[in-house]
Structure 1
């Protein structure tokens, strides 16, 4: 246990706190896929939210037409003020296409839709995934706690240690060494900000509704980094906190294949580099890639020592292979696919809610 403060306010778990927080003025956004529906982790999540009773729950659902009815009916069994946004529904798709916002689908797009709806009705918004096996009402309360105390943005952090192994590989072996490499080559406040987070790729954060309406969200797996770039621009160091959420157990992904960590690293890297470009940071990529490899090699040895100290299994060779795979993502990003801030969007959140409601009504 430690009590070190970072450049952003860091709130530690010293005594398993369940702080007072404005839960009744908060909307909780939960992105969920059809495969997570009725899982033990999802059941725990929504049963906990039922007891917590936030102002609103908005589920950003990615599901095929043949499954969406079962998910809707399952969610209706919880005593919650819950709105289901079927993000793949035909009416939602048509609404986006008519507004010139059609494009790639992904987690970021789903969450962006839900953020607009959530921020339109509640003062605060909390976002978290539905796959945490140890989910607790503490998580929402801790994330909300800083928002009534001078902060506009709050990020969760936690340990990813399961089955006697270190996880969180995309953060440990891609994001962290890449930000270290950027810090070595660029003196920029945004890089310092990105380096201040203990788990920058966590899916758990909270923000004021006014800040949420100014987020420009990447469509895919760059969601978490994209929000950090905008949080820096709008809230800065003084308006940001990070909160200890304990130990989390999540689903794990393979490195290769669709939606694997390799694919995710490309999207995370692109989102990070677009945020840096906004701040005037333009790396020389061949040199940055070499510095990234050096930083990652150092971290592999540090993680190996930490694992040995704690009696954990650790495969240096496997970790180095992942670094080699991630290095390909250190390259100029493609086109910027961020969705617009809701304050500037050509559609209204009410129109999204209406389209999603009609889509759900059309499903048996």
Structure 2
């Protein structure tokens, strides 16, 4: 436990913090895929959301048509004002295509669609559904800074489970990479990006105006890209981070599809896009070596921290991971981000209505109930 401040305002939980917050003026966005259907962690998340009493819970759902009816039926059992936003239906796809926004699909695109719908409320909270330690007060914690004049808040927490340190992509890639960039560039954006204690956390909150102004990564790198946009839109003085304690959720392998290695490419591209947007000129050839030097220092430090707490730690394995992540250090390439909602021809209510119609059609084809969940307008 500490009480130090970072470059952004840092709100600590000294034991049971549960501040008053404008939950009734907020929408909570919980992106989900069909693999999370009826899981223990999502069950806990939605049970806790029943205690939050938000204005709306928006679930951007990525799933095949045949899974949509049972997903809606399951979510309808929770006592929350629910909008299931099926992101893969033909009407939604047609709206995106007509607006010139067809392209790669992923979590970022789903969240972007939900942000447009959720921003009809004053505040928007975004978090994942895979957290087994989730509590209702997490939403109140994230919202509190917004009621106190901040425009953006980000959650942070310890990733310690089963006597091991997790959060590997943050510890072994993001942290040393930002450190290496800051070592050769004196720029406020790097101070900002380096101030967040868990920059890859999916938990954040923002004002509706900021939500409508975000440019969003389509797939990996959503969280880092959001930080870059928060810097552009709110600046250092408009952002805060909030202590959410200790989180336990899913882990990924390093290699393979959707593994940490693949994720590092998206995270790296989003980070480099953010710093280039702010005017930093990166020497990518020199950066890889500086990153490995910084990563070695971090591995040594985390190894000492693990030993101090009698945790299992394999320093050589962690160094091997850093060598894998170094391959992700490259120019960010073509900018495929979705634009700010304020810069599109799309209407969020039309998107919600299209998603509802797509879901109703999927339910009708499956012979399921057509009124088991609330879709579109709350």
Q: 2:65 matched to 1:65?
A: yes
Quick check: 1:224 aligned with 2:231? no
C-alpha distance in structure 2 between counterparts of 1:177 and 1:228, whole Å: 17
**Could you tell me the TM-score, scaled by structure 2's length?**
0.95
The aligned residue for residue 132 of structure 2 is 133
1:106 aligns with 2:69: no
Matched, 1:4 2:15: no
Counterpart position of 2:257: 258
Distance in 2, matches of 1:321 and 1:95, equals 45
Alignment of 1:1-364 (within 5 A): 1-119=1-119, 121-364=120-363
> Does the residue aligned with 1:343 lie in a helix, a strand or coil?
helix
**Inter-partner Cα distance in structure 2 for 1:245 and 1:51:** 17
Mark the runs of 5 or more structure 1 residues left unpaired by the alignment: none
For residues 34-91 of structure 1, give each alpha carbon's deviation from its aligned partner in whole angstroms, at most 9, with x where no partner exists: 1112101000111111121100000011111121111111011112111001111121
Shift of 1:236: 1.0
Please give the alpha-carbon distance, in whole angstroms, between the structure 1 residues aligned to 2:344 and 2:221.
20
TM-score between the two structures when normalised by the length of structure 1: 0.99
Which residue of the partner structure matches residue 367 of structure 2? none
| CA deviations over 1:111-160 (Å, ceiling 9, x no partner) | 000011000x2100000000000110110000000001110000000000
The superposition leaves residues 144-180 of structure 1 with CA deviations (integer Å, 9 ceiling, x where unpaired) of 0000111000000000000000000000000000000
How far does residue 15 in structure 1 lie from its aligned partner after superposition? 2.2
Q: Could you give the per-residue CA deviations for residues 267-315 of structure 1, whole angstroms, max 9, x where no partner exists?
A: 0110111111111112111111110000000000000000000000001
Counterparts of 1:261 and 1:348 in 2: how far apart (Å)? Answer: 35
SS at match of 2:297: helix
Q: What SS does the corresponding residue of 1:206 show, helix, strand or coil?
A: strand
- RMSD of the TM alignment (CA)? 0.7
**Aligned equivalents of 2:316, 2:68: Cα separation in 1:** 42
Number of residues of Structure 1 aligned to a counterpart in Structure 2:
363
The Cα of 1:222 is off from its aligned counterpart by: 1.0
For residue 343 of structure 2, give the secondary structure of its aligned residue in structure 1.
Answer: coil
CA distance in 2, matches of 1:68, 1:317: 44
1:6-44 deviation per Cα after TM superposition (whole angstroms, max 9, x unaligned): 011100010211110000000000001111121010001
**In structure 2, what is the Cα distance between the partners aligned to 1:15 and 1:44?**
22
Of residues 135-144 and 272-281 in structure 1, the stretch that sits farther from structure 2 once superposed is 272-281
Residue range with higher mean Cα deviation, 342-351 or 203-212 = 342-351
Once the two structures are TM-superposed, the CA of residue 94 in structure 1 deviates from its matched residue by 1.4
Separation in 2, partners of 1:240, 1:354:
33
Residue segments in structure 2 that go unaligned for 5+ positions in a row: 364-378
Following TM superposition, by how much is the alpha carbon of 1:230 offset from its aligned partner in structure 2, in angstroms? 1.1
Cα distance in structure 2, aligned partners of 1:197 and 1:61: 28
